[in-house]
A and B are shown apart, each in its own frame.
Chain A
Amino acid sequence: MTVPTDRSFTSSHEWLKIEGDVATLGITHFAVNELTDITFVEMKPAGESVSAGDPVGEVESVKATSDVYAPVGGEIIEVNDALSDDPSLLNSDPYGKGWLIKIKMSGGQGDGLMDAAAYSAAYDG
């Protein structure tokens, strides 16, 4: 799967799409592929404040459980409820319907983020 160029990436395989002061967070196709079939997603609820680097939820697959971290700080304003009914959306569409949360950013736009080219070169090449 091609890595979309309209967003940034972390070395821990989250993606971040920033529109105005709202950042949408998900995990990459590479991460989903490593995890195999996703069976459970639980994110912190809307209204919670998070700092950059905080864990914001957990993703479970047949094989492993993994934390998801927020690369930016702010307030969680929306959680993708569709994932609790159908976690496999993360497998089929990690960059689209499989988004995890939206954060209204209060600080900067995050350090150490990679663009699509750098992320592809490092992990998805």
Chain B
Amino acid sequence: MWGWGCGEPERRSHCATNLVFGGAPGSGQRFLHGGGRQLDDVDVALAKRQQNHAPRMPHHNRGPGALHMRKDTFHRPMRGLRAIDESAQVLVQFHKSIRNGLARVKCKAPCFEHLCRCADLMPQAGIARALQPGIDREHPHGVRFYGLRGAGCSRTLSGRTRKIKGTVMTTTAPESQLTHSPLHEWHVQHGARMVDFVGWALPICYDWPETFGGGGGIIEEHKQVRASGGVFDVSHMGRIDVKGRHARRLLERMVSRRISDMTEGQCRYALVLNERGGVRDDVLVYRFDDSEFMVVCNGANREKILAHTDAIKAQGTANGALDACKIHDKTRDTAMVAVQGPKVMDLIAKVSSEVPTLKRYRFVEKNMLIMKLLVSRTGYTGENGVEVILPAKVVSMAMKMLLKDAGPDTNAIVKPCGLGARDTLRLEAGMPLYGHELDEDTDALASGLNFAITLDKDQDERGEDAIGLAALRSIQQAGGPKQHLVGLILEGKRTARQGMAVRAGDKTIGRITSGCLSPTLGQSIAMAYVDVAHATPNETVQVDFGRDRTIEATTTALPFYKST
């Protein structure tokens, strides 16, 4: 539920992606009713008999975040559990009765994940993520909802209940509390429109300065990358060193692909699974040598992956301990920049003869003047290009060097591009995004990322089974996943949004995970999980836009776009 005017609870408006509109620093916060951002409108059902026993929450517990109850439906602030998720700055307060299994919260997937994270931080609260996802038929878009309830209680809330509406918001996160990328000044100089993205102030798009000929914005930046080149700041992504005698085996235990057969200077895309075969995150593993690795993970999952890595290290495996390794988060000491587009190698060739010869998913460490760069032939746009990791202190200088030969002018080879274009580019390229195509409750096989899952890796000579692979093998043996990720091309120009129902006739067969009006194809495209019976190309389905409106769509194989 996001968009402009989100402060008014009656306004129906929803966000397409995890990207959050906070507005420009200084103005956005007022727009957001004094700060914080709205994650979701939620329905809370409370057991009737708790009604008169809820004492007022102590004043100091009443934060601006939390399950804000609308005044007209609930006149007392929620009391009970209070948890703060530092990474996402989410504050949640639950009614005590939720702890006792006497209440439930209905909300959508991204909000649910934040709530679970808070619950994990407060294990003594005994909140379980127990209810199955369902479809909320009363909601105009039939959104998928998730429930939270107390641990150890029956699945359903029995007896008389009282329903209230609430809003889950992040805590007040004034501009001063957002993490600044090492390129913050550079963004501001280049006309960035900054937003709060998982606690970082990052550009969603730019109003390009006159030196670049003006213009900019998500669609123009998207086209710039497809036609020539763009540079993205992706410093919010987690960069975690894993070093030591047990590093290789620890990663073998953690990720869905073999680590042992990787060579030095190689990076490999893999999934970090949970015990049920759901996806904790998707990552790139870099191999420097047999005892030195780096994991690059999603910014939103950095804390989670760090905690998970520590837990694996502490637990060890049946094959022995894993404690002889050092896990170091170097995200804040470094910057990460993606340079993507068909012409960027011409530009890079001017400063390095080696980088343009790199094969895909290979990396090289370069010393340049006083800078130590790690350059990998990877990306998230479907174009040729590199991602560069470098010390935070020198990144501004490096950007100047890169753009010195790029223009700057209207025809610059490379222009600054924001997270908005990054999202539409990856969608055209059929690449999954955590929180949309990938989440903890959707089994990894359904995503179709089979290349990233080595089911039999424990059979290898030096093999070590990874967490979650056993669950995936069971799913495979039981006939495979019930749904598959497919591409959809919609009639007309309307955009399908995450959570919309996909139907075949009057039967609901799936849900949209991402959608956009493709700037390259000019068509409305989307990704969706649909029942396997409908997961073949050229099936006609309908996307439910709410208010009795559906739009016809045709299933298609991914990706939508491939660079030539």
Contact = CB atoms under 8 A, between A and B. Distances in A.
Interface in B204-229: 204-205, 217-219
A55 B547 CA distance: 12
A65 interface: yes
Contacts of B8: 11-12
A106 interface: no
A91 B205 CA distance: 14
Given A39-B517, A40-B495, A123-B31, A64 B12 contact: no
A37 to B, nearest CB: 5
A40 B31 contact: no
Given A65-B14, A123-B27, A37 B4 contact: no
B144 to A, nearest CB: 17
17 contacts: A12-B8, A30-B27, A31-B4, A33-B193, A34-B23, A35-B21, A36-B193, A37-B219, A40-B493, A62-B218, A63-B218, A64-B2, A64-B4, A64-B14, A64-B15, A65-B16, A67-B12
Given A35-B3, A63-B16, A65-B3, 20 more contacts: A12-B4, A12-B8, A30-B31, A31-B4, A34-B4, A34-B21, A34-B23, A36-B193, A40-B494, A60-B494, A60-B517, A62-B424, A63-B15, A63-B19, A63-B218, A64-B3, A66-B3, A67-B13, A123-B31, A125-B27
Interface in B10-33: 11-17, 19, 21, 23-24, 27, 30-31
Interface in B408-450: 420, 424
Interface in A13-46: 13, 27, 30-31, 33-37, 39-40, 42
Contacts of A123: 27, 30-31
A39 B522 CA distance: 10
Contacts of A65: 3, 13-14, 16, 495, 497
The DSSP consensus for interface residues of chain A is mixed
Contacts of B219: 37, 62
A36 B218 contact: yes
Contacts of B3: 34-35, 63-66
B407 interface: no
Interface residues of A, number: 28
A35 B420 CA distance: 11
Interface of B: 2-5, 8, 11-17, 19, 21, 23-24, 27, 30-31, 193, 204-205, 217-219, 420, 424, 493-495, 497, 516-517
A27 B3 CA distance: 13
Interface in A52-71: 55, 60, 62-67, 69
Most buried by B among A27, A33, A37, A69: A37
A124 interface: yes
A31 B3 CA distance: 9
Contacts of B494: 40, 42, 60
Nearest to B20: A63
Given A34-B31, A60-B494, A123-B30, A66 B5 contact: yes
The DSSP consensus for interface residues of chain B is loop
A25 B136 CA distance: 34
Interface of A: 11-13, 27, 30-31, 33-37, 39-40, 42, 55, 60, 62-67, 69, 91, 122-125
B4 A13 contact: yes
Nearest to A41: B493
A31 B493 CA distance: 21
A24 B292 CA distance: 65
Given A39-B493, A122-B30, A66 B204 contact: no
Nearest to A121: B30
Query: A-B pairs with the 9 shortest C-beta distances?
Result: A64-B3, A12-B5, A66-B13, A66-B3, A39-B517, A34-B4, A31-B4, A62-B218, A37-B219
Contact of B217 (A36, A40, A69): A36
B495 A60 contact: yes
Nearest to A14: B5
B136 to A, nearest CB: 18
